[in-house]
Amino acid sequence: MELSVFQKGFNFSQDGPGNRLVYHLQGCNLRCPWCSNPEGLACRGGTRVSVSELKEEALRSVPMFFEHGGVTLTGGEVTLQLEGVKALLTELKQAGIHTAIETNGLSPRLKELLPLVDYLMIDCKHYDPERHRSVTGLANDILFENIRLAVTQNKAPAVRIPLIGGFNASAEDAEQFARLFLRLGLRESGTVELLPYHEYGRDKYKALGMTYTMTEQAKVSPETVAEMTRILQSHGLRVIRS
């Protein structure tokens, strides 16, 4: 069993708790124009690495997992390599290593990974499935069911909203997100994190010969982030910052 990995490295508290060994897996089923890892979009590419090699690397890295760290699998989109991801998470859990994944939540098979995941980060880019489809390429109805399922399984999902000006970053958007999250049970179990737009992917697009379509309108002010945070908290939701 192998996984296709396009990037790896250690990161502190940005991809789950503590210091973590983060593997970026190749391939994504969305085409978000603000993507910061366009090199991981295509399903082909990356470096093929066996699950056993990844497990051994994780075991060698255990001394680095301070402050409750561990291994995080992100993307691209991890569920596109679901069988390999399931195999690796199983090995890591058996070795006593803390596991985390970051996913767009659009796979109907995400439920198969939940028992193997200690910390679940799940993106929610929009509350309107059709608006989500028009910008990213796919509707996100199934995401909502996956969040609800994670809540019922006591996974306390960390729901992440990439804030994009003109798309999902207004006071009204915050109200709509809040209503959605309350329906899904996030007030009782889970957190919300606001991730303001950044241009980390711009140079990568150029290097890959791809067109970067984001404009200045996408930028979100600190005042907007603060106002959205206030609105979400006013509904009893727990807003965190990594």
> pLDDT by residue (tens digit) across 196-210?
999 888 889 888 999
Share of the chain above pLDDT 70, in %: 100
> pLDDT by residue (tens digit) across 84-132?
999 999 999 999 999 999 999 999 999 999 999 999 999 999 999 999 9
In the chain, % helix, strand, coil (3-state, to 5) comes to 40, 20, 40
> Torsions phi, psi of 25, nearest 5?
-95, 145
Do β-strands 119-123 and 2-12 pair in parallel, antiparallel, or remain unpaired?
Answer: unpaired
Please give the average per-residue pLDDT across 133-138, as a whole number.
Answer: 96
How far is Cα 94 from Cα 77, in angstroms, rounded to an integer? Answer: 24
Q: pLDDT at position 14, please?
A: 84
Asked whether the predicted pLDDT for residue 242 surpasses 80, the reply is no
Asked whether the predicted pLDDT for residue 43 surpasses 90, the reply is no
Q: Tell whether pTM > 0.75.
A: yes
Q: pLDDT at position 11, please?
A: 86
Domain count within the chain: 1
> pLDDT by residue (tens digit) across 52-68?
999 999 999 999 999 99
Q: pLDDT at position 200, please?
A: 83
Q: Where are the beta strands (DSSP E) in 119-224?
A: 119-123, 158-163, 191-196
> Of the given ranges (11-25, 77-91, 165-179, 224-238), which has the lowest mean pLDDT?
11-25
Domain that residue 191 falls in = 2-240
Burial tier of 209 (Cβ tally within 10 Å: 0-12, 13-18, 19+): exposed
Specify the CATH number for the domain of residue 90: 3.20.20.70
Please give the average per-residue pLDDT across 5-27, as a whole number.
Answer: 93
